[in-house]
Structure 1
Amino acid sequence: MTARTRLLSLLEAMATPHPLDRYLELVDPMTTVRDLRARVVAVRRATADTVTITLRPTRQWRGFRAGQFVQVGVVVDGVRHTRCYSPAGADRDTDIELTVKAHAHGLVSGHLRERVEVGTVVTLSQAAGTFTLPTPRPPRVLLISGGSGITPVMSMLRTLVAEGYRGDVTFLHYANRAEGVPYLAELRACAAGNANVNIVLAYTDSGGGDLRGRFGAEHLDVAAPWWREAETYLCGPASLMRSVREQYDRHAPGDRLHVEEFAPVVASPDPGAAGATTFRASGVTAENTGVSLLEQAEAAGLTPEYGCRMGICFSCTTVRASGCTRNLRTGELDSDPDTPIQLCVSAAVGDVTLSL
């Protein structure tokens, strides 16, 4: 243990019952010992339903790889909420650029779109995720996105261009219309300035794009005739992801398709659900309704920690002391005792006891 670490431990012991950073934030929320935070240094609203935010993180930030995500925490009406977003900038950038699309009932996205301003301080996690470009870079890269799924693949495109990558790159993006593409001017400029970059825009509700309508097998042949040999990176709405997966499963088997999903797992409650879920530390037992254990906990009045609600951030990990659970994404059953599970993507199968 270094002298600095010993001093820090002593100061934190003296600051009990709160961590030292709880006191420092009263003076300056960007002055931290352990916590990673960021200040909003720029806000741009380029489309009717998105906001692009530039964050300047504290010294604890370790950077990111193009395609990864971070957890951002903001206070809305006195309550801190955490969501996952992918940086859109090149991975060598020191600041973090996020483009957030406001959803009709999105508490955090709506707050950021309408109310965030320069000077706002947010909490931040280190970057995580395996949706990244390989090293060395492949000779051909196909980037496919739709809607707000543009951000991680935009980061990949910017990173490749910044590196001076000379392989073939096609960026295929789906939007309702041109007005809904956050980086439209930059994408066009990128294609104009780089002979190896091909930008293909598909508009589902209007003309004027390079392609028209929703994804179809013919789109791949038009956008990137070499798609079967390329490394493909896909992020977008569930319908787009499903259609592209089906095409690759039929005509390009293997592991060339890489996907990132930023939507909560949607699973119908199990009509045959039975048994009870016991939250041991809370002294609460609730009927198993077949929904996710996170939803069951909240319905029982508990407030477990969570971040993404989609199984990628692990914030809601809790020990299952006994019983059997089903993974809502894969359908896999697991009954090993004293095993960490993710509440947001797990449902009880019969009686289950959690350490929560």
Structure 2
Amino acid sequence: MPILSLSLARHLVPALQPLRALCRRGWLREADVDLLLRLLHPALRVQRVFARVAARRWVAEDMLALTLRCNGNERGWRAGQHVQVYLEQEGVRHGRSYSLTAVSADGRVELAIKRQPGGRLSTVLLDHLEVGQLLELAPAFGELQWPNDGRPVLLAAAGSGITPLLGLLREALAQGFAAPITLLHQVRRPGQRAFVEELQGLAERHRNLHLRWVISGEPGGRITRDQLDELPGEHLVTCGPRGFVEQLQGWWKRGGTLQVESFSPPEPLTVDERREVRLRFARSGQQVPGNNQGSLLEQAEASGLRPAHGCRQGICASCTCTLLSGAVRDLRSGALFAEPNQPIRLCVSVPHGDVEIDL
């Protein structure tokens, strides 16, 4: 039994500031301090965010909402951002990014997790994670913001792209946003419409909220440019697979702001010809053959290494490593980076020639 309840442990967190300072200066080892803090409560840590599963509920046929109670280190988190969820399986630590659909002052956060066919982590979280279990979370990240000038807003999502938009919508309505809001959610099947009952309840209580679902698995079910043009809204906030987001981004011609977020990895850069290169992983002491087309993350994994990673699309920065020598090209922009000792993100960096990285 823990000596403290999680609520009391959370109240203790501000008092840990001197310990944090000593750890930063190297006078204490954070791992040693964490080991002692765990005796008070399994979730208590100096810096790291641990959370207990407080509730789980299905919000679509393939999406589960998890309510988590954090340990007090989740400072500055906002609904609509994303967090990495870490879980160890068979001795290997896996991490995946999920959206924060709600953030409360008492440390409760909600994540919505969509089942991914063959997904290594989502299957475990959906089918085996129990109330009371502990999860580790990385600091929240993400730049989506609710437009703040009072003009009408159009939210457009596909698939699990609904989750960050729902977090933004909940907070905007709770804070009294009164301009018209239209929420469009495109899914393949009716059963994949997430949070339907809650959204319908919000629309009944807030007459400025209008809902629309598009079923892409039915004839003529995908959103078209004409349909987008007919939807009201001077600001567009959109999230979904890369193809969906890029299509809406190309169609949007109105004068308001445009915010986009995609959870699909970028397509590999087109190169004139495939070249063989040498990859050196300094800390691992490995030198292996590689090529100028695959990402460094993929090629490191193919060589038997297990770099930390999360989103696999250059957003979360979990896979950041130091480039020691050589040059890499960014999959998203095509920009070339060759300055030694600069940080690069393995999931969106491809070798431009022989490279050495601190991995």
1:151-181 deviation line (CA, Å, top 9, x unaligned): 0000111111100111121111111233211
Structure 1 residue ranges without an equivalent (≥5): none
Aligned to 2:6: none
Aligned to 1:287: 289
Taking the aligned partners of 2:40 and 2:305, their CA distance within structure 1 comes to: 32
1:323 aligns with 2:335: no
**Bigger shift: residues 69-78 or 49-58:** 69-78
1:214 aligns with 2:222: yes
Taking the aligned partners of 2:46 and 2:30, their CA distance within structure 1 comes to: 16
Which residue, 98, 102, 120 being the options, matches 1:89?
A: 102
Taking the aligned partners of 1:355 and 1:91, their CA distance within structure 2 comes to: 39
Name the % identity.
Answer: 35
Which residue, 116, 119, 126 being the options, matches 2:139?
A: 126
Matches within 5 A, 1:197-346: 197-206=209-218, 213-224=221-232, 227=233, 230-248=234-252, 251-252=253-254, 256-267=257-268, 271-289=273-291, 290-346=293-349
How many corresponding residue pairs?
343
Alignment-mate amino acid for residue 56 of structure 1? R
Alignment-mate amino acid for residue 71 of structure 1? Q
Q: TM-score, normalised by structure 1?
A: 0.87
Alignment-mate amino acid for residue 243 of structure 2? S
Structure 2 residue ranges without an equivalent (≥5): 1-14
1:37-76 deviation line (CA, Å, top 9, x unaligned): 1111001123322111001111112142232111111233
In structure 2, relative to structure 1, the CA distance for the partners of 1:328 and 1:58 (3 Å cut) is same
Contact 2:80-2:164 at 8 Å conserved across structures? yes
By how many angstroms is 1:206 displaced? 4.4
Which residue, 172, 176, 179 being the options, matches 2:191?
A: 179
Taking the aligned partners of 2:180 and 2:235, their CA distance within structure 1 comes to: 11
Contact 1:215-1:244 at 8 Å conserved across structures? no
1:352 aligns with 2:348: no
Taking the aligned partners of 1:156 and 1:6, their CA distance within structure 2 comes to: 35
Q: TM-score, normalised by structure 2?
A: 0.86
Aligned to 1:194: 206
By how many angstroms is 1:105 displaced? 1.4
Taking the aligned partners of 2:270 and 2:201, their CA distance within structure 1 comes to: 48
1:195-246 deviation line (CA, Å, top 9, x unaligned): 2111111122349xxxx6101012223332xx4xx12110112231122122
Contact 2:146-2:172 at 8 Å conserved across structures? no
By how many angstroms is 1:269 displaced? 8.4
For residue 113 of structure 2, give the secondary structure of its aligned residue in structure 1: strand
For residue 60 of structure 2, give the secondary structure of its aligned residue in structure 1: coil
By how many angstroms is 1:344 displaced? 0.9
Alignment-mate amino acid for residue 250 of structure 2? E
In structure 2, relative to structure 1, the CA distance for the partners of 1:155 and 1:92 (3 Å cut) is farther
Taking the aligned partners of 1:92 and 1:195, their CA distance within structure 2 comes to: 27
In structure 2, relative to structure 1, the CA distance for the partners of 1:296 and 1:119 (3 Å cut) is same
Taking the aligned partners of 1:169 and 1:71, their CA distance within structure 2 comes to: 29
Contact 1:100-1:113 at 8 Å conserved across structures? yes
1:34 aligns with 2:47: yes
Taking the aligned partners of 1:298 and 1:177, their CA distance within structure 2 comes to: 35
